[in-house]
Amino acid sequence: MARAPRQWGAGGFVALGGVSFIDAAKAARIIAVEGGSPIDYAGEDCFAGSLPPMIALATTAGSGSEVTQWSVITTGKEKIRIGGGACFPR
């Protein structure tokens, strides 16, 4: 998923769904630019580049993932937090 935008020449991301889909799209934006895997970017502002634009359309109420700078990804048994100012959807 994260490599596809580069291969297709996509200009941005659209995340439609609940918190998991929106968080996955936030992480995919970082990987599309930086490469690697989500665990490489755990923490705040652990990536260098600017990110492609993203539109987030929440289909569930209450999580607020569409308006935060954080992505929570589960890797095996642990949850990691990826984020920073550049992660806000537009």
Kindly report the CATH number assigned to the domain that includes residue 80.
3.40.50.1970
Rounded to the nearest integer, the mean pLDDT of the chain is 84
SS3 20: helix
Q: How many domains does the chain have?
A: 1
Sheet hosting strand 78-83, strand order edge to edge: 43-44, 78-83, 70-75
Q: Are 45 and 85 in contact (CB under 8 A)?
A: yes
Confidence band, pLDDT 50/70/90 cuts, at residue 1: low
- Ramachandran angles phi, psi of 80, nearest 5°: -115, 155
Q: What is the pLDDT of residues 23-56, one digit of tens each?
A: 999 998 888 888 888 889 999 988 887 888 899 9
Cβ neighbour number for residue 73 with a 10 Å cutoff: 19
Band the pLDDT of 11: cuts 50, 70, 90. Answer: confident
Q: Which domain holds residue 71?
A: 4-87
Banded model confidence at residue 3, pLDDT cuts 50, 70, 90: low
What is the residue type of 57?
Answer: L
